[in-house]
Structure 1
Amino acid sequence: MYLGLLDRLQRHGCLSESEERKASMSEQLNAPLGAPPYQRGCLNHRSILQIVVQIAGLCRVINLIMGSFIHGRGKLDGCSFCSRNAFRNAIKEAAIAQHFELRIIKSDLIRYFAKCASEGCPWRIRAVKLSNAPTFTIRSLEGTHTCGRNAHDGHHQASIDWIVSFIDERLRSDINYKPKDILHDIYKQYGIKISYKQAWRAKERGLAAIYGSSEDGYCLLPAYCEQIKRTNPGSVAKVFTTGADNRFHGLFVSFYGSICGFLNGCLPIVGLGGIQLKSKYLGTLLSATSFDADGGLFPLAFGIADVENDESWM
């Protein structure tokens, strides 16, 4: 639990910890209870306190901010964040979680001033950057919310970047995470509604950040074909381009193992098929298959073309 929480906070730039420290903590926390003290890392009062401080540091500040949103409580004057982005992320999380809109009066590299977006509500917060350090510190947190919750459906702070950070972990484990599921999860956790378009754009941006964009993938295809021919001598792999800017037009791949298998162990029958792709740039996936000695399908070659016609098969 400790390492998982630290990883989440580190992705937001709020905590920093060396790999050696994480490994040490992992050994201490995961050692069996019956292990001798030296194996358990001697979790004395000091080391336990260090763990609690590292976990609770940002969470305490966010909770105080959230309390101040509702009741005007929270002695936050002087509370510090490791960077400007860490401070902004904490404010954004608190505003979204408590359904209050923020109106940012001033925000630059050295200062941040915001107040409640509701007219007449006295709540406001000021923070500044410390000199000769990236640390941001809260100078004042004033007023009590008198407006009630002023964000009931959507939320201006729930930007595409915020949604990307929310779905990042789930998207890494499930590439088929659907926009409608993103809508459901955000509403379940925060009680706010976002549009389907926002969820879709956030998923596309998240996938591009994790796996690269479609455009980057097309640019890598020539190098991929060269690697196929280098590591599988006798294979056929070629990218077809068109126009002066060498735009992608088609792809053909047949591995040497498939060629030998067809010539030496398959029936002299070739089946052709095509299926339309539903990716960003569409196209048609073409495949050539045969039958092995057991009557099973044997892949011979595959390719990508704009449409399935006589020219693309040739």
Structure 2
Amino acid sequence: MVKNRAIEDINEEEEEDGEDLESNSSDFDSGKDSDNEHGERIPVFSEQDMCAEVGCKWKIAALVVGKDASFQVGEYNPKHSCGRAYYVRNCKSAWIGKKYQDRFRTYLRRNVVGFRQDVIQDIRVHVSRNQAYTTKWQALKQREGNTEEKYGKLWDYAEKLRT
């Protein structure tokens, strides 16, 4: 019953605006608020994103529904016709170190040049020489552990030896 009242209110508002309900076939095209099953108004925001390259057909269009993080994809073309960008600013050495720490643990004398080639081949991201050295240093530091923690464990070990 509540849902019907909300739909009637929408029909009256659209008739006042001079629009016809059938002309707007979906909420995605109309950009208007939609109703949930309880008849409450849910704000709908349209978001559209396209590839920056000229002539590339990749496109996604989605609706953000409600106040939470849910959305509905209305149109999606997954095919890129442009080249791939290897320079990603958000790829930090800490993240690379977490991802490849096992490789550095097993082989400490790993060559930085070979590591850079592996990263480019695996995740298709350019890694500078400085990032590679920082990643290797962080992995070695993590393998060694914290000096203060080791010193604290030394006293516990000494007590066990005394008893």
TM-score (norm 2): 0.45
TM-score (norm 1): 0.27
Structure with the higher fraction of residues in strand conformation: 1
Compare relative contact order (CA 8 Å, sep 6+) and give the higher one, 1 or 2.
2
Structure with the higher fraction of residues in helix conformation: 2
